[in-house]
Chain A
Amino acid sequence: MKKSKFFLLALVISVVLCGCGSRKEGDNKTQEKESNSQTQTEGSGEDSSTETKVYGGSVIVGITQDLDSLDPHKAVAAGTEEVLFNIYEGLVKPDRDGNLVPAVAESYTMSEDGTIYTFSLRENIKFHDGTSVTAEDVIYSIKRCAGLLETSDPEVITVSALSCIKEVEALKGEGQKDQIQITLNEPNTELICYFTCAIVPEHIKDLEQNPIGTGPFRFVSYTPLQKFVIEKNKDYYLEGVPYLDEVTFKISANTDSAFLELSAGGIDIFPYLTSEQANQIPDTFEVKTGTMNLVQGLFLNNKKAPFDQKQVRQALFYAIDAKQILEMVGGGAGNIIRTNMFSSFSKYYNTQLDMTYSYNIEKAKELLKQAGYPDGFSFTIQVPSNYQYHIDTAQVIVEQLKQVGITAKIQLIEWSSWLSDVYKARNYEATIVGLDANLAPSDVLKRYCSKASNNFLNYENSEFDEVFAKAVATISDEEKVTFYKDLQRILNEDAASVYLQDPPLLVAVNKKLSGYTFYPVYVQDMATVYYKNAQ
């Protein structure tokens, strides 16, 4: 029963996701050809056959976090990256299915042994200030991300995965397009995911005041704590997008005030609805459901007693009813996961684990007895105070754990403190957060290696380390998938932490708008959004 219900849920979600995604892409292409008139009728599509796309118009998107930097290589917060996605592009960028499609590059090839990547630059691609994108700009941008520039700015976030780059050079043949060749020190067939790093013009030294990229929208203005405005890039290399003339990202103090503004008609798209808000949404809005692409879990410090015992960790897994959490906190949407991988990452996701650790109090008690805690124990869960979703989850967990005699206490902790105390100093027992990662599977799983600097769980398993090394080293795609699935199994069996769910992302979209697209990464792509004809 449980199985079928969950399956149904996953099915519904995937249908919704595909429904608002792929169909429109197909339509796009059919209508791009004759895109001279102001509006077009879509040729195909069942429910959207009467829908017409209007070019122009402006949209206000509500966000709840101020931007931490307009320089794409300095931005850290997910809330900033999702906005800057509209301005900057990398050599490649993710599409809605998680594939990497050419952006600044027109095409790319990887040598068979995975040590040389060659990108052909798109012809006539321009930055927003009108200058052409040159091979030098690309080299500069990649070196900047990889920390290979001679004078480095400490605020630029070095992408450690790119540190295996030996050389970035331009290949210039006569009559040929510009090509960039990147040589690596060691083979890495997953590195392509990191070439989503933004290509920026070398001649602009103050990107923070003057953000210039190649994306479908260009920067207009930014007022801290108020708004971030972008307008259509008329010279965008793809025909027919974007539709909108202007997009304003409005920075609200919190979701409550943003929701009030939405109710009053001041916001057209709001991506962070709580499930209660989704129920109270005004008639003029519809709620779209996706997933956040996070691994939410009760993460345990594997070095702190009693969590140094496998049985105890497994007992917690059995004692926590992830389905109930999903229903109480996420309003039933979202995907239950039992290992550290996103369910939307379907190529690598190990579906066999889905049915493990089904809610079982007796089993949990039994395991606790084996571990020497027949009467339970008590511990503290540290939860970052700025994430209501995790706080709510923690509250449900505390109640559930009472059933097996475990007393959990919630301690709210500021994000800065979480970073320094929990994440860096690893001074905690348990915490609830959502882990995100790049589109590379190695990036998702790397933190569980014994020596990884971001292994804040203090997880140690030599088998895991071995398989991980093999997974990264192999250049056979098939083997890679097998290894990565195996790694997920190890984490699941060890109960390295209690993995809960990929939380639902509830987005309010004004019914006048269409084309809002979910991605397997956390972005707000405004290029696909358009007004439907009012008629």
Chain B
Amino acid sequence: MKFFIRRFFTLIITLFFVALLTFLAFEIIPGDAALTRLGIDAEQADIEALREQLGLNQTVLYRFFRFILGAVCGDFGVSIQYKVPVIQLMSERLPVTIWLAGLSMLLILLVSLPLSLVGIESKNGKLHRIITFSNQIIMAVPPFFLGMLFSLIFGIWMKLFVPGSYPGTEMFGKFLRYMIFPAIAVALPKIAMTVNFMQSSVLAQMKQDYVRTAKSKGNSRKRILFHHVLKNALIPSVTFFAMTAADVLAGSIVVEQVFNLPGIGRMLITAISYRDFPVVEAAVLYIAVVVILINFFVDLAYQKLDPRIQITD
């Protein structure tokens, strides 16, 4: 229980600092919401009036704490550009990003685990070499490029989907059919990395003394692998998996641009260019929460995998 409370406080403190950093970054970068909103022909008087209305003339401290207080109460304010509450804007965009990231994670799990085992099983075999070789290539390809490649191959040549024509969540079948391509684009390089990591992790374990002992007791290779090695090899892999999750989120933001997905990422980028501070702050905080939560679950998973790791205090 104590663990949870401590974790909760860490979460709050981390979020506070993330909010502060985002806020400060916005203070430092040039550009001003009122000026950006009113554009090139704006009269100085209008800019001043709008600054006043948006509360940009208040002191930095006042604005920051007003934002924090609002956020604690679940009120992130109103988007400067769209004039709707940020919460509403977020809740419309969130499902897209969550589905994209979720599908990618699922793909990574479903593909990389069996693939790495197959690779190890046929160690030094042809399959192993093919997997290692293609891993090297795929790892080096950034998701946005894969996205463009997919649009060209699956979209324009094979006509499996129409690039850029995001169908919305209403028709779930169509939605899923469209989302699978950006999900693969995000997942593929991560799959390659995960397979590589898993393989080396397993192979490192295979050199350990306990494997030799198990072998000398007459266990089959398969039994050693599944009963002894895998569990030990999984611990570093879980850490890696958590890092991947954060990466997948970042990758989705970029891929959203390529596939025209109206997710958090596109919203974030548009909001930054409009200096729409409330939206940026909310989106950044959301991403921070997700990353922190993933880390939290990873800690829990450690304990399950290896009882020696004690989460006490």
Contacts and interface: CB of A to CB of B under 8 A. Distances in A.
A8 B81 CA distance: 45
Given A263-B156, A265-B162, A154 B50 contact: yes
Interface string A66-80: 101000000011000
A76 B34 CA distance: 12
A266 B162 CA distance: 7
Interface string B254-294: 00111110100011001001110000000000000000000
Given A68-B81, A420-B30, A261 B162 contact: yes
B162 to A, nearest CB: 5
Contacts of A420: 30-32, 35
Contact of A417 (B31, B162, B274): B31
B83 interface: yes
Contacts, number: 128
Nearest to A265: B162
Contacts of B132: none
Interface in A431-487: 453-454
Given A257-B258, A414-B273, A421-B30, A76 B164 contact: no
A453 B163 contact: no
A337 B164 CA distance: 37
Contacts of B38: 76, 155, 157
Given A264-B162, A416-B32, A77 B39 contact: yes
Contacts of A453: 43-44
Interface in A329-344: none
B39 A160 contact: no
A152 B46 CA distance: 10
Interface hub of A66, A416, A420 (most chain B Cβ within 10 A): A416
B87 to A, nearest CB: 15
Interface stretch (A95-103, A165-173, A222-230): A222-230
Q: For chain B, which range describes its interface: under 10, 10 to 19, 20 to 34, or 35 or more residues?
A: 35 or more
A516 interface: no
- Among A152, A208, A424, the one with the most B-chain Cβ atoms within 10 Å of its Cβ is A424
B220 interface: no
Nearest to A76: B39
Nearest to B152: A260
B66 interface: no
Contacts of B274: 68, 416
B159 interface: yes
B30 A226 contact: no
A266 B178 CA distance: 14
Interface residues of A, number: 43
Interface stretch (A30-38, A248-256, A506-514): A248-256
Contact of A225 (B35, B37, B258, B267): B267
Given A155-B37, A264-B155, A225 B31 contact: no
A71 B16 CA distance: 37
A414 B162 contact: no
Nearest to B267: A225
B11 interface: no
B138 interface: no
Contact of A155 (B50, B156, B162, B164): B50
B48 to A, nearest CB: 8
Contacts of B83: 208
Interface in A378-420: 386, 414-417, 419-420
B40 A423 contact: yes
Contacts of B32: 416, 419-420
A58 interface: no
Contacts of B257: 253-254, 257
A273 interface: no
Nearest to A62: B164
A197 to B, nearest CB: 13
B274 to A, nearest CB: 7
Tell me whether chain A's interface is mostly helix, strand or loop, or mixed.
loop
Contact of B155 (A260, A267, A415): A260
A40 interface: no
A416 B258 contact: no
Interface string B70-84: 000000000001110
B216 interface: no
Given A154-B49, A257-B164, A257-B257, A415 B36 contact: yes
B258 A415 contact: no
Contacts of A416: 30-32, 35-36, 273-275
A256 to B, nearest CB: 7
A258 interface: yes
A77 B273 CA distance: 13
Interface in A227-241: none
A419 B273 contact: no
Contacts of A156: 46
A250 B163 CA distance: 13
A158 interface: yes
A156 B45 CA distance: 12
B41 interface: yes
A261 B164 contact: yes
B29 interface: yes
A256 B258 CA distance: 8
Contacts of A260: 148, 151-152, 155-156, 163-164
Question: Could you say which of A154, A252, A265, A386 has the most chain B C-beta atoms within 10 Å of its C-beta?
Answer: A154
A157 B46 contact: yes
B41 A414 contact: no
Give the residue among A256, A261, A415 with the most B Cβ atoms within 10 A: A261
A266 B38 CA distance: 33
B37 A76 contact: yes
Interface in A54-72: 66, 68
Contacts of A223: 262
A454 B40 CA distance: 8
Contacts of B165: 250, 261, 264, 266
Interface centre among B41, B168, B257 (most CB of A within 10 A): B41
Contact of B41 (A226, A421, A454): A454
Nearest to B270: A66
Nearest to A261: B164
Nearest to B82: A224
A454 B35 CA distance: 13
Given A225-B266, A225-B270, A414-B273, A252 B82 contact: no
Nearest to A208: B83
B15 to A, nearest CB: 26
A242 B56 CA distance: 44
Given A263-B156, A264-B155, A266-B164, A160 B275 contact: no
Nearest 10 pairs between A and B by C-beta? A416-B31, A261-B164, A76-B39, A154-B49, A154-B50, A260-B163, A253-B257, A417-B30, A225-B262, A266-B165
Given A66-B270, A264-B165, A453-B43, 12 more contacts: A76-B41, A76-B42, A147-B43, A156-B46, A157-B42, A158-B45, A224-B82, A252-B164, A266-B162, A415-B36, A416-B30, A419-B32
24 contacts: A154-B46, A155-B53, A156-B46, A157-B41, A157-B42, A158-B43, A223-B262, A225-B270, A256-B148, A256-B258, A257-B151, A260-B163, A261-B164, A263-B156, A264-B155, A264-B156, A264-B165, A266-B163, A414-B29, A415-B273, A416-B273, A416-B274, A417-B31, A419-B35
